[in-house]
Amino acid sequence: MFNFKNAIAVLLITLTSPFVVAENLTIDDAWIREAPPVSRVQAAYAIFKNDQSSDIEIVSASSSAFKKIEFHKTISENGLTKMRQQASIAISAKESAVLKPEGMHMMLFNPVTPLRAGEKVDINFKLSNGNSMTSSFTVKKVSGSDHHQHMHH
Ligand SMILES: [Cu+2]
């Protein structure tokens, strides 16, 4: 017998959104910069939007496609551009944390296989409250110089 209630439940599960929501955190515009096959490090960016009335802290990130993921901040010091590792990404209540080139970013170390533009990679985030969430990142080719190529030796 056709069960209308179950049919709606299945439909809702099937309708996946382009971004992932956990609690009141939204991850949007998630992408990884395509790197040359010889590269052992590449950068990832995303917009983390906190819609709740309390702060959210992302304490770690991991992916089966990379050996290690770190949070970095690009800073200018004595005229030199440097990267500093950050312990976490903090997103204030009702605010967004924007990870973008030349700013906060994720550093992805030692890809298991070279990733080409158009491929998708899941990255899992652990929050300070013990919860975690996963978001799909799309590899994109970006023309122009990539300072990461000579920053991590
Ligand atoms: Cu970096």
Note whether residue 3 is domain-resident. no
Note whether residue 1 is domain-resident. no
Q: Which amino acid is at 144?
A: G
Note whether residue 12 is domain-resident. no
- Could you tell me if 149 and 142 are in contact, meaning their C-beta atoms sit under 8 angstroms apart? no
Q: What's the pTM value of the predicted model, to 2 decimals?
A: 0.79
The number of distinct structural domains making up the chain is 1
Note whether residue 11 is domain-resident. no
Ligand 1 center from residue 73 Cα (angstroms): 7
| pLDDT tens digits, 80-95 | 999 999 999 999 999 9
CB atoms within 10 A of CB 144: 5
CB atoms within 10 A of CB 146: 17
Note whether residue 41 is domain-resident. yes
Q: Which amino acid is at 9?
A: A
Backbone angles phi, psi at 147, to 5 degrees: -65, -15
| pLDDT tens digits, 9-28 | 544 444 444 444 456 899 99
Note whether residue 147 is domain-resident. no
Cα–Cα distance measured from residue 115 to residue 64, given in angstroms and rounded to the nearest whole number: 13
Ligand 1 center from residue 90 Cα (angstroms): 17
- Could you tell me if 128 and 59 are in contact, meaning their C-beta atoms sit under 8 angstroms apart? yes
Single out the residue of 133, 137, 141 nearest to residue 45, CA to CA. 137
| pLDDT tens digits, 67-83 | 999 999 999 888 899 99
Note whether residue 129 is domain-resident. yes
Ligand 1 center from residue 81 Cα (angstroms): 11
Q: Which domain holds residue 121?
A: 20-142
Over pLDDT 90: what percentage of the chain? 67
Note whether residue 9 is domain-resident. no
CATH assignment of the domain containing 133: 2.60.40.1890
Residue with tokens 């819609």: 51
Ligand 1 center from residue 130 Cα (angstroms): 25
Ligand 1 center from residue 152 Cα (angstroms): 8
Ligand 1 center from residue 92 Cα (angstroms): 22
